[in-house]
């Protein structure tokens, strides 16, 4: 049986080589640090050690590729990648959403590089492991890295994502290893496009959130200066400019008008709420002063 372990420092590498560990992997946080990866590459130079590189914590394909290239430049030939998902700042059923388009992009750029999927870290939930493991195999990834523990509830860390040996055996029995059919391939392509939509939708939500933050600041300024929330002239100028820009991009004018009318309505609501809150606070302050005088 082969033994693998994670290394994060040159000292780790030296100890692993000394004790004849068979396979090394570089963790997600180490991958994100080019200086740490370079130090590991120097320590491994001249060895024939297989090295697997986990994707960085954040969805940055260039960091992942850069870590692999640093090791390759040190003539480390037995390289592979581990897809363990990426951190996110929105609610998700996954601990680290897979963002499949990123590992698939790496597989396309480096077709000879083995790609291992880590459903344990992607899901953080043993009930979701089979689904993502099967998806990885359908995407023609080369293997799986799965956490197994005889008593997950007693594990020192990550207990929710670990399988018992019996669960692991059942998983292996039920995974389908046959090549994907043409219909399945079409579904894969559709899934990749859906992943892009999911990513873009999150960007939209982030942008809307930032816009509303600015609207609150504008509302506070207007309240201080006694300016009403609705400025009809400004709104008409904004809408006309956005419609013109949409036309140049080939986007339906009626669609963009509806979108910006909804956004504008919410911005006015945010600003009006600031005015109402300030009015309540002012009224409360006057009552307090009246009580003190009495």
Retrieve residue 111's tokens: 């077709």
Give the C-alpha separation, 173 to 171, whole Å.
Answer: 5
What domains sit in the chain, N to C, each tagged with a CATH number?
4-181 (3.20.20.70), 184-293 (1.20.59.10)
How many CB atoms are located within 10 Å of the residue 54 CB? Answer: 25
* pTM score, whole prediction: 0.65
**Closest among 278, 261, 270 to 215, alpha carbons compared:** 270
- Mean pLDDT, contiguous 10-residue spans, the chain (294 residues): 95 96 97 96 95 95 95 95 89 88 92 96 95 92 96 94 96 79 64 78 86 89 85 91 92 92 92 78 65 59
CA distances, 197 to each of 89, 203, 205, 254, 268 (Å) = 17, 10, 12, 22, 29
Cα–Cα distance for residue pair 156/216, rounded to 1 Å: 45
Q: What's the CA gap between 79 and 31, in Å, rounded?
A: 14
Tokens for 263, please give them: 């956004």
3-state secondary structure of 44: helix
Looking up tokens 């100890």 gives 15
Tokens of 51: 């090295």
Q: How many Cβ atoms are within 10 Å of 220's Cβ, its own excluded?
A: 14
Residue 200: count of CB within 10 angstroms of its CB: 10
3-state secondary structure of 115: strand
Place of tokens 């960007």: 203
What are the distances in angstroms from CA 2 to CA 5, 23, 50, 113?
10, 8, 11, 20
- The tokens describing 142, both together, are 């080369």
Measured distance CA(33)–CA(70) in Å, rounded: 12
Residue 278 confidence (pLDDT): 66
Q: What DSSP letter does each residue of 214-269 carry, written as one string?
A: HHHHHHHHHHHHT--S--HHHHHHHHHHHHHHHHHTT--HHHHHHHHHHHHHHHHH
Q: What is the CA radius of gyration of the chain?
A: 27
Task: State the Cα–Cα distance between residues 148 and 8, nearest whole angstrom.
Answer: 23
């Amino acid at each position: 049986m082969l033994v693998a372990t994670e290394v994060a420092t040159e000292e780790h590498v030296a100890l692993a080589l000394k004790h004849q560990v068979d396979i090394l992997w570089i963790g997600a946080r180490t991958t994100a640090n080019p200086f740490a990866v370079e130090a590991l590459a120097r320590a491994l130079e001249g060895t024939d050690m297989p090295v697997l590189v986990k994707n960085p914590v954040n969805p940055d394909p260039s960091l992942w590729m850069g870590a692999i290239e640093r090791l390759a430049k040190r003539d480390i030939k037995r390289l592979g990648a581990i897809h363990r998902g990426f951190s996110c700042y929105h609610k998700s059923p996954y601990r680290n959403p897979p963002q499949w388009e990123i590992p698939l992009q790496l597989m396309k750029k480096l077709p000879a590089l083995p790609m291992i999927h880590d459903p344990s870290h992607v899901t953080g939930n043993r009930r979701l492991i089979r689904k993502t493991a099967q998806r990885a195999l359908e995407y023609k990834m080369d293997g799986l890295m799965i956490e197994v523990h005889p008593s997950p509830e007693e594990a020192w860390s990550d207990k929710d994502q670990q399988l018992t040996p019996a669960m692991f055996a059942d998983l292996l029995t039920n995974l389908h290893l046959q090549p994907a059919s043409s219909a399945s391939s079409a579904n894969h392509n559709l899934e990749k496009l859906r992943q892009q939509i999911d990513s873009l939708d999150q960007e939209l939500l982030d942008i809307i959130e930032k816009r509303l933050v600015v609207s609150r600041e504008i509302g506070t300024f207007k309240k201080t200066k006694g300016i009403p929330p609705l400025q009809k002239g400004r709104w008409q100028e904004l809408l006309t400019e956005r419609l013109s820009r949409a036309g140049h991009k080939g986007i339906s004018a009626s669609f963009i008008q509806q979108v910006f009318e909804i956004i504008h309505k919410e911005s006015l609501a945010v600003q009006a709420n600031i005015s109402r809150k300030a009015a309540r606070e002012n009224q409360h302050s006057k009552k307090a002063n009246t009580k003190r005088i009495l």
